[in-house]
A and B are shown apart, each in its own frame.
Chain A
């Protein structure tokens, strides 16, 4: 079995001379001690486990909603405690500033009045909920759960690629990947002090309970899912089960006298905190989408009166708009009076005239994204796109340039990945998860997504990406 290292860019396990980085020596040594036959046996074991556990997600676009196994790569990714400290501090700073931004947007709007963020961006966005101006969630927390997407650039430095404040998913894979790897390759863990991720459900429950309405002892938490046809249903049921709280759909909840109740076999039970995994507009048909049958009529009224907490708070999704991203360093300066800890990627905005011209002239070099898009849909990766794809995309861009942003293609890092009987470099990103309760806490771990195709830059599960277990090493005692 070969271990190939990346010929260009940053390889997380090998240095530029092709020597194993010290942190990976034990790991690669252990793999090298296994025979080819043994690896094949372990891979089978792993596949069986995945199918048995039913870890699936739904891919839209091809046929209709195909359920797939999320490919898992058993070569874990290792992050040193020094690197992690920086990532952790950077994420805490970012999440804190973005939450301040949301509090401000739905109250005084200093950031708009002072011109830090162009008001056209906010007022022109579908994600801005005017209905909730003046409604302050408990403790002023909007972003109870945040997934921040990071890359490592060609020098190994971490870069923030985007924020997911609306409904970040993927944390169930972080936990399941750890379980799976531990079951299939227990010996890998022998030589490393890997920080635990298994406490996540408990941390989440604590953060959710912290946001419960005042005066509720032992607040009741429920996970609100759009139902089994949602691509992340596996995760919704997983988190509910692990937290030991009910999983409900809109029709299971009823609002009476501005209090939210859950229909149970033993009658009605009041719900204090809703961890919702549905979009804002489907929360309440009285206030938002009149035609929706998914929501809970009266829920927003109960929320406005402070009788129920909703996590993440309705209206938080505006922070995910990709055209807000370039302003995050300014928001950090405005609200925290600090310099940004984790750098981010240079971004051109289709709504700025100069930028628009630049994007239009450099499409083949750029990654162009829909401001409101997610999951890799509505995106162009210029350097790997065909002339025909660029032409088709240009037509979309020219029709509504203000809906797009563009970034240079980052030659992000590679990581050894088991593929076709060999260990070969594949590109990886990282999504750590932060919880905002009594302070911001970052789970010491994260979802490493891997592009399974050689040379590919697309790691989204919906576009054929896989994932890895991610190890954050404990600080060494000196």
Chain B
């Protein structure tokens, strides 16, 4: 399915801040089953963007803004071709592995970060009887059905840094919480599995908007990585777009960074998806290469602070090199 994705990230600050350093992980991966045809990242205020690939092969873009500003806007545009994976995790007949995981999988067998190896986790793991499942497929089915009956999808109950213990207590949360809890349950059962961050395209957007989404992949010796969406208790299809892999959310947050200044931050994120008509975005003209937002050399509350034009800002940066 050829999809066009627009991801808007708008940071606003109550006061002007002096300095921002941000990393974003928003570029869909190009790999078997998914091709990234076009990708564009537009930023305001203007700053140099650097791209690198992290240890998982996820694309990371970073930038710094070191003049006073009170807004940052990012527009991420991707055109991606997706396929539905033919491997069905629920039909996987591999037994649950009894040997410790080899090197490339080892990172995905440990509970780390927000996935907490606690008594509460182990209790649920045994309640669901995951260790007794005759196959990985059956284990995934028991996991999906178990979570669907015991946990509810609820917004604003958990936070971006909530742990599996928080979710186990509150019994309500979002896709990230479902993914983390599933990873904890599968890892304590002995199945290597990883966190997937991405987008979910929804056809009927008037009912449920498209959004950033999180699900998991688990390893089968016979099939390799197989994906599963514990929030919806189903196998992901061509409406799922993969951005990054990690041990947990902590390895692939869509944005992470730091700013200097005493001001509260507000982030508005919006995702729009639609079937694409072309594999490339129309060419941009010079003016639309970045989003026009002002920066100031001095905090604007002071007298005589002059707004830097884009040209001046660029010139001052060049002098500093």
A residues contacting B by CB (< 8 A) are 109, 112-113, 119-120, 123-124, 130-131, 133-134, 254-259, 261, 268, 285-287, 290, 297-298, 301, 304-305
Contact = CB atoms under 8 A, between A and B. Distances in A.
Contact of B55 (A120, A124, A133): A133
B103 A304 contact: no
A257 B23 contact: no
A257 B257 contact: no
Contact of B106 (A119, A134, A304): A119
Interface in B61-79: 62, 64, 66
A297 B17 CA distance: 14
A174 B283 CA distance: 65
B132 interface: no
Contacts of B256: 286, 290
A292 to B, nearest CB: 10
A113 B103 CA distance: 7
Nearest to A285: B258
B19 A301 contact: no
B314 to A, nearest CB: 10
B152 interface: no
Contacts, number: 68
B64 A256 contact: yes
Interface in B35-64: 48, 50, 52-55, 62, 64
B320 A256 contact: yes
A298 B55 contact: no
Contacts of B260: 297
A226 B121 CA distance: 38
B64 A255 contact: yes
B19 A259 contact: no
Given A259-B321, A261-B320, A286-B256, A297 B52 contact: no
Nearest to B22: A286
Interface string B108-120: 0010000000000
Contacts of A134: 52-53, 55
Contact of A131 (B55, B64, B110): B55
B85 interface: no
B297 interface: no
13 contacts: A109-B103, A123-B110, A130-B54, A130-B55, A133-B55, A254-B66, A255-B21, A256-B320, A286-B21, A286-B23, A286-B256, A290-B256, A298-B21
Given A134-B53, A256-B64, A286-B257, 12 more contacts: A130-B55, A130-B251, A133-B54, A134-B52, A257-B48, A257-B320, A258-B50, A259-B320, A268-B320, A286-B23, A297-B21, A298-B64
Contacts of B251: 130
A143 B310 CA distance: 42
B258 A286 contact: yes
A255 B260 CA distance: 12
B106 A301 contact: no
B107 interface: yes
A297 B106 contact: no
A403 B317 CA distance: 48
B321 A257 contact: yes
A36 B55 CA distance: 66
Contacts of B53: 134
B52 A304 contact: yes
Interface string B12-40: 00000001011100000000000000000
A256 B257 CA distance: 15
Closest 5 CB pairs of A and B: A133-B55, A297-B21, A298-B21, A130-B55, A119-B103
A127 to B, nearest CB: 14
A254 B19 CA distance: 9
Contact of A256 (B66, B100, B103): B66
Nearest to A134: B55
Interface in B276-320: 317, 320
A290 B100 CA distance: 32
Contacts of A109: 103
A120 B106 contact: yes
A259 B320 CA distance: 9
Contacts of A119: 103, 106
A304 B256 CA distance: 17
Contact of A258 (B55, B64, B107, B258): B64
B14 to A, nearest CB: 20
B23 to A, nearest CB: 6
A420 B111 CA distance: 55
Contacts of A131: 54-55
A301 B21 contact: yes
A254 B260 CA distance: 11
Given A256-B66, A304-B52, A297 B320 contact: no
A261 B320 CA distance: 9
A109 B64 CA distance: 32
B192 to A, nearest CB: 12
A305 B100 CA distance: 37
Contacts of B50: 258, 301, 305
A304 B54 CA distance: 11
A297 B55 contact: no
Nearest to A261: B320
Interface in B92-108: 100, 103, 106-107
Contacts of A120: 100, 106
A258 B54 CA distance: 17
Nearest to B48: A257
Nearest to A115: B103
Nearest to B259: A297
Contacts of B64: 255-258, 297-298, 301
Nearest to A305: B50
A109 B102 CA distance: 13
Interface in B171-205: none
Contacts of A112: 103
Contacts of A123: 106-107, 110
Contacts of A124: 110
A112 B102 CA distance: 10
A304 B60 CA distance: 12
A338 B320 CA distance: 48
Nearest to B161: A290
Nearest to A301: B62
